[in-house]
Amino acid sequence: MAGNLLPPQTLLANLQQAAPDFIPREMQYLGPVSEHAEVRIGGENLDHMVRGADRGFAAMDPYTGELEGTEYLPGHENAWTDIVISIFALHFGSYGGAFMRWVYVFMGLAGAFLFYTGNLLWVETRRRKQRRNGGQVEQKRSTRLMASATVGVCWGSVAGIAIAMTAGKWLYRGVDPASLYLWAYYFVFLAAVGWAFVRGPGRSAVELIAFAGVAWLTVPATALLAYLFPAMPAWIQTAPGPLAVDGTALVAGVLLLEMARRTAKRVFHGNTDSVWYAGKPAGEPGSVAARVEHA
């Protein structure tokens, strides 16, 4: 029966007649020797939103060439499917090409930054109110726990994403990629949260921001290793998309390390009544270790 399959050119020609503006990119045969044989022709139409990553598809009979399903064919959906697709596209940013993907990246970063800085400002505003009221600024345990949770959750997420990306390149053999990404991410995330509560908000902020910076530098470092040692898997990509990811990871790593350096100034040399103050580093004049040594 498989010998009676229509040539791909015939299927594409039939689809072209039904949807002239649809640009086919791939063909997937499902059960070609079964009674329910189907071929899905995936592609794009930049004038319409799609549910997946810039991909819609048409379902066709691979033996007769008949168009069997158009619910996910851009421009041919019914009203209900069109609403669902629009919601998915707006949620995932699967429209407008690479430009809109980067817009969504920066929108996501802006939202995360707003959450992080909002929590920091809430903690600091509480201290300033106590000062204005003439009372003694006393950081409660609940405030310190809130600050530690903020640091651990936020920077654990940032580092976890980077480590998951790198782990996917190094540990891909014999492992389900989806499970690998989840295990790598949550291992780093939960470890960061635990570290923040153990070390306290101030010290853990410096350490976890620095760790996140190093984690993001592992992404371009992995690509560089593949470039220097050709016998390794082809992790270096010259396409604009992968290069943009490596370049962004490099910039993020450098900026995070600089952020850690600036945060350290606040943590070790800032206001002593702040929840972020952790005392001067060991060995510096005025630090606990220096006073013990002097005594």
Say whether pLDDT at 285 is over 60: no
pLDDT band for position 155 (cuts 50, 70, 90): very high
What average pLDDT score do residues 72-88 get? 79
Residue of 47, 40, 37 lying closest to 76 (CA atoms) = 47
Residue positions counted in the chain: 295
- Please state whether beta strands 23-30 and 38-44 pair in parallel, antiparallel, or not at all (unpaired): antiparallel
Closest by CA to 236, choosing from 250, 222, 216, 215, is 222
Query: What percentage of the chain reaches a pLDDT higher than 70?
Result: 83
* pLDDT of the residue at 257: 96
State residue 189's pLDDT score: 97
pLDDT at 249: 93
Closest CA to 202 of 130, 115, 281, 114: 281
What distance in Å separates the CA atoms of residue 180 and residue 194, rounded to the nearest whole number? Answer: 21
**46-59 mean pLDDT:** 71
On the question of pLDDT at 283 being above 80, the answer is no
Average pLDDT (138-163) is: 89
Cα gap 115→103, rounded to integer Å: 19
| Residue 153 or 292, more confident | 153
Question: Is residue 209 over pLDDT 90?
Answer: yes
Type of residue at 30: L
| 29 bridge partner residues | 39
Does the pLDDT at position 210 exceed 70? Answer: yes
Q: Is the per-residue pLDDT at 237 higher than 80? A: no
Q: At 73, which amino acid appears? A: L
Residue 289 has pLDDT above 50, yes or no: no
Distance between CA atoms of residues 248 and 262, nearest Å: 21
The token duo for 90 is 């707006």
- H or E stretch covering 56: strand 56-60
Q: Quick check: pTM over 0.75?
A: no
State the average pLDDT over residues 198-215: 94
pLDDT at 293 over 60: no
Distance CA 213, CA 258 (A): 9
Q: What is the mean pLDDT of residues 270-294?
A: 58
Q: Which range has the worst mean pLDDT, 3-12, 187-196, 285-294? A: 285-294
Q: Which of 222, 220, 165 is nearest to 188 (CA)?
A: 165
292 has pLDDT over 60? no
